[in-house]
Amino acid sequence: MEKTVEIYYQSLYEVAATLNSTRASGDILQSIVENVAKAVGAKGCSLMLLSPDKKLLIHTAAYGLSDWYIRKGPVSADKSLSEALEGKVVAVLHASEDDRIQYREQAKKEGIASILSVPMMLREEIIGVVRVYTPEPRQFTLDDIYFVGAVANLGAIALENAKLYETLKKDYESFRRDTLEHHPLRDW
């Protein structure tokens, strides 16, 4: 147990360092799902964001999952572990048998036995989920849940920072353009 906590602390440090880097948001999210899968000792991990109409979950970053599985079809927010979108952590022991799993047969073919789904929140609004997939049935521990929850929150902050940066960049470019149009540089 002590070793797991040590791995989680190290992984959280790495995720925070990545967030503090100048990397693109897509690279940061990809790093997050890879880091989570490796730290938890899982087959894979995905980060799915809610569509603007909040009806679908869109795979935004994934690690350890086949393209076939990621593109299996639209993931309905109300048919796929919907409790996570109500702010609850959802752990599924047998994914191929649980009615809360939208694509049970595909999960079985992908070799997924258990799934942990943790809400991704930004200022008390759920914006998506982080899911961990294991190849064997697994009872997720509180340490697992807290670690994935902390990373999900860091991911939400990373997304917000990327959005703010893009807005700031556009505003700066617009300001610069306006300034040059109204005050052209003169040859002195």
- Strands 90-92 and 75-76, bridge-based pairing: unpaired
Query: Residue 188's pLDDT band (boundaries 50, 70, 90)?
Result: very low
What are the tens digits of pLDDT across the range 120-153?
Answer: 998 889 999 999 999 999 999 999 999 999 999 9
Tell me the CA distances in angstroms from 36 to 50, 112, 159, one per residue in order: 20, 16, 17
What are the tens digits of pLDDT across the range 9-22?
Answer: 888 888 777 777 65
Instruction: Provide the 3-class DSSP secondary structure of residue 93.
Output: coil
179 pLDDT higher than 90 = no
Cβ–Cβ contacts within 10 Å for residue 115, how many?
25
- Classify each residue of 158-184 as buried b or exposed e, where b means 16 or more C-beta atoms within 10 Å of its C-beta: bbeebeeeeeeeeeeeeeeeeeeeeee
Q: Residue 19 is which amino acid?
A: L
Which value, to the nearest 10 degrees, does the dihedral of the CA atoms of residues 173, 175, 178, 179 take? -110
77 pLDDT higher than 90 = no
Rounded CA separation 86/63 (Å): 25
Contact 147, 10 (CB under 8 A): no
Closest Cα to residue 120, out of 42, 39, 185, 60?
60
Go through the domains of the chain in sequence order and give each one's CATH number.
2-181 (3.30.450.40)
Tokens 């300034």, located at residue: 179
- Strands 44-50 and 125-134, bridge-based pairing: antiparallel
Q: What is the pTM of this model?
A: 0.82
Q: Residue 36 is which amino acid?
A: V
